[in-house]
Amino acid sequence: MPNSSMLNRDHTIAIYMEGSLRSLHGKMGFGIMRYFPGQIACIIDATFAGRRIDEVITSPCEAPIVATIEEACTLGAQVLVLGTAPSGGRIPPEWLGSLETAINNGLSIVNGMHDRLKDRFGTLESEDQWIWDIRHPESFVPSIASGRARTLTNKRVLLTGTDMAVGKMTTGLEIYHWLLAKEQSTVFLATGQIGMAITGNGIPLDAFKVDHACGAVEEMVVGAAGYGIVLIEGQGSLLHPASTATLPLMRGSCPTHLVLCHRAKATMLDTCKGVRIPPLREVIALNESLAGAAGALTPATTIGIALNTSRLEEHAAQKAIDELEDEAGLPVEDVVRFGAGKLASQLAN
């Protein structure tokens, strides 16, 4: 598994969120706010400048919001993290002037989008200033997958979803931290730019050619064979017409367990209008059948449902959890709101 991160807990970061603070496209920034282990100096978004981030969105982060790169520098920022993940993964053209200002002010940049900033601004490879283009693995060329993960004896847990942006990474990290606190042998394997920026490890799955995607996952999972419980960050959804990410995750990891992530009350995809979400029992059966390839590969069992209730009040959230447990016959929990124990305890030894 490649380990190319230049970002670590000793850095003080600013998160560039211009125009994205109240959008699903801001999930890169939201994930960094919740899980980055280092210091967050500020969030940059001129629309909400002068307020704290927790006054604008639901977040455990209390960093101030500022309007400019220069203000971020005065607050001690060393690294600028681009906090958006728009459809298609392209850098908004209107951001380029601010990025040039950041470079000129000595900031390093963490870029989770497909556009390669090193081509625009140069490599800047020094101890004090650098650019990390997360979706451009510099030297990692995986071998073609061969199903090696099926020979492992550990628990391999893949996070699946009914849609994009429903909490697959968040669920995985919350389960991971719960298991760590219980002194379980566990690791979280990131497969996207947000998880990689947080953990410093993993693969940018959607940056690999189709022929290599399964192999990249397989090498990462086989490399984690020494852990008893391996949590694999999910991407996309089998239900989404534009998503091709779930199948290479299944093939490369040969999961033994699945966790389904779903947004409470959702009956249609948020990210592709007009596509219906089938009954969750049917979605679970689909995931399990494809993961095990009708018996050709490792059988996978769904241990529970992580329900994203962020759009509901707490009483309504608990009611939705209870109703879905009765409907699905599985443990259901909002791992952010109520903790990951109900799901994570299904995996603990």
CATH number of the domain that 46 lies in? 3.40.50.720
Whether residue 196 is contained in a domain is answered as yes
Cα distances (Å, whole numbers) of residue 34 to 102, 207, 244, 318, 346: 23, 25, 27, 23, 24
Number of domains within the chain = 2
Indicate if 73 and 179 belong to the same structural domain: no
The strand pairing partners of 306, in sequence order, are: 261, 333
pLDDT at 2: 47
Dump pLDDT digits (tens) for 173-186.
999 999 999 999 99
Instruction: Decide if 139 is inside a domain.
Output: no
94 and 243 both lie in a single domain: no
Residue 211 lies in a domain: yes
Instruction: Give the pLDDT score at 219.
Output: 96
CATH of the domain at 250: 3.40.50.300
| Predicted structure pTM score | 0.91
Q: Do 192 and 302 lie in a common domain?
A: yes
Residue 91 confidence (pLDDT):
84
With a cut of 60, say whether residue 146 has pLDDT above it.
yes
Mean pLDDT computed over 133-158: 91
188-240 tens-digit pLDDT: 999 999 999 998 889 999 889 989 999 999 999 999 999 999 999 999 999 99
For residue 57, tell me if it sits in a domain.
yes
Domain's final residue, options 98, 133, 168: 133
Query: For position 3, what pLDDT does the model report?
Result: 47
Measured distance CA(283)–CA(22) in Å, rounded: 29
Within-domain flag for 89? yes
Inside any domain, residue 143: no
Question: In this predicted structure, what is the pLDDT of residue 89?
Answer: 73
Q: How confident is the model at residue 122 (pLDDT cuts 50, 70, 90)?
A: confident
Domain assignment of residue 44, yes or no: yes
Q: State the pLDDT at residue 87.
A: 64
Q: Which domain holds residue 336?
A: 148-344
For position 139, what pLDDT does the model report? 64
Do residue 42 and residue 116 come from a single domain? yes
Residues 206 and 250 in one domain: yes
Q: What is the mean pLDDT of residues 161-179?
A: 96
Beta pairing partners, 230: 156, 187
Out of 88-97, 111-120, 268-277, 296-305, least confident range: 88-97
